[in-house]
A and B are shown apart, each in its own frame.
Chain A
Amino acid sequence: MARRTVEVELSTTGLDAQGRPQRVPILTDDGGGGLALQAPPGLEPDLEGEHMLINLGPQHPATHGVLRLVLELDGETVVRCIPHIGYLHCGFEKMGEYRQYNQIICWTDREDYLNSIGNNVAFALGAERLFGIEITERCKVLRVIASELSRIMSHLVWLGTFCIDIGAFTPFLWAFQRREEIYRLLEKWIGARLTTSATRVGGMAADIPSGWMDGLRQFIRTFPHTLDEIDRVLTKNAIWVGRTVGLGVMTPEEAINWGLSGPMLRASGVDYDVRKDFPYLDYETYDFEVPVGTNGDVYDRYLVRFEELRQSVRILQQAADRLPDGPVNIDDPRIILPPKSKATSEMESMIHHFKVVMEGPRPPIGESYFAVESPKGEKGYYMVSDGTAKPVRWRIRPPSFVNLAAISKMVEGHLLSDVIAINASIDIVMGEIDR
Chain B
Amino acid sequence: MRTGASASGGEPTTQKNISHRGEPANPSAQALQQKFGGSIKRVEVIWGETVVYVDPSSVHDVIRWLKDDPSQRYDFLSDVTAVEYRDPEVPIEVVWHLRSLPFRQFLRVKSQLAKGKPLEIDSLYDIYRSADWLERECYDMFGIRFRGHPDLRRILMWESYREGFPLRKDFPLRGRFSRSEQLRQALAQNPEARYSMEELSIADAYAELPQEMRDRLSKGERTGE
Contacts and interface: CB of A to CB of B under 8 A. Distances in A.
B11 interface: yes
A395 interface: yes
A296 to B, nearest CB: 12
Interface stretch (B26-34, B182-190, B199-207, B213-221): B199-207
A106 B195 CA distance: 35
Interface string B108-148: 10000000000000000000111011100100010000000
A336 B189 CA distance: 50
Tell me whether chain A's interface is mostly helix, strand or loop, or mixed.
mixed
Contacts of A70: 195, 199
A289 interface: yes
A50 interface: yes
A210 to B, nearest CB: 29
B179 interface: no
A212 interface: no
B88 interface: no
A278 B12 contact: yes
A132 B7 CA distance: 29
A380 B97 contact: yes
B6 interface: yes
A401 B202 contact: no
A75 interface: no
A271 B86 contact: no
Contacts of A50: 203-204
A273 interface: yes
Interface stretch (A35-43, A91-99, A115-123, A418-426): A91-99
A435 B81 CA distance: 14
A132 B18 contact: yes
B84 interface: yes
A304 B46 CA distance: 35
Given A53-B202, A290-B6, A402 B133 contact: yes
Contacts, number: 176
Contact of B198 (A82, A272, A300): A82
B67 to A, nearest CB: 10
A259 B129 contact: yes
Q: Which interface residue of A259, A278, A282, A304 has the most chain B CB atoms within 10 A?
A: A259
Contact of B199 (A53, A270, A364): A53
Chain B binding surface, main DSSP class = loop
B177 interface: no
Nearest to A68: B194
Contacts of B51: 367
Interface string B68-83: 0000000111110101
Contacts of B171: 94
Contact of A281 (B14, B137, B166): B14
Contact of A93 (B16, B18, B130, B167): B167
A186 B86 CA distance: 39
Contact of B20 (A89, A283, A364): A364
Contact of B157 (A89, A93, A259, A368): A89
A271 B81 CA distance: 26
Contacts of A382: 79, 81, 95, 97
Contacts of A130: 47
A402 B14 contact: no
Interface string B1-21: 111111100011110111110
Nearest to A401: B133
A289 B108 contact: no
Nearest to A275: B6
Contacts of A392: 83-86
A257 B156 contact: no
Contacts of A292: 1-4
Given A392-B86, A401-B133, A86 B156 contact: yes
B203 A51 contact: yes
Contacts of A371: 78
B155 interface: yes
B78 A280 contact: no
Contacts of B95: 382
Interface string B157-168: 110000000110
Given A132-B47, A369-B97, A283 B4 contact: no
Interface of A: 50-53, 70, 72, 80, 82, 85-86, 89, 91, 93-95, 98, 129-130, 132, 134, 254, 256-260, 270-273, 276-284, 289-294, 300, 303-304, 307, 364, 366-369, 371, 378, 380, 382, 384, 386, 392-393, 395, 397, 401-402, 404-406, 434-435
Given A52-B203, A259-B134, A281-B14, 15 more contacts: A51-B203, A52-B202, A72-B199, A86-B156, A256-B101, A258-B130, A276-B11, A279-B12, A366-B46, A367-B46, A368-B47, A369-B106, A386-B86, A386-B87, A397-B79
